[in-house]
Amino acid sequence: MAWITVKLSDFAWEVGQPKRYQTDTGAYPTFCDSCGTSLTYENDDRPNEIDITTGSLDDPEHFPPSKDVFAEEKLSWVPLADGGKRVRE
């Protein structure tokens, strides 16, 4: 899944509030209560940032991936955005 990360102070919901819950690891994912789409992710380790699912944006084409995180966990057929080391070839 592609995400963008922004300062929490630069982020605001335009309409309504999504469902939010806390995981055992201190993360706070949100999702659409109507369709279940994953929307954001916050973590106690990064209190000033919020990750937003790129696919949930009105214009996701403006936010192509620029790096890979947890590349070692990717499926073998997923290309890496930053030319990182391939795994499970």
The pTM of this model reads 0.78
Domain residue extents for the chain: 3-73
CATH of 3-73, one of 2.170.150.70, 1.10.132.50, 3.60.70.12, 2.60.120.860: 2.170.150.70
Strands 27-31 and 46-53: unpaired
* pLDDT tens digits, one per residue of 58-87: 999 999 888 887 788 888 888 887 665 544
- Residue 80 half-sphere exposure, CB side, CA atoms within 13 Å? 17
Mind listing the pLDDT tens digit for each residue in 15-33? 889 999 999 988 999 999 9
- Tell me 85's DSSP state: P
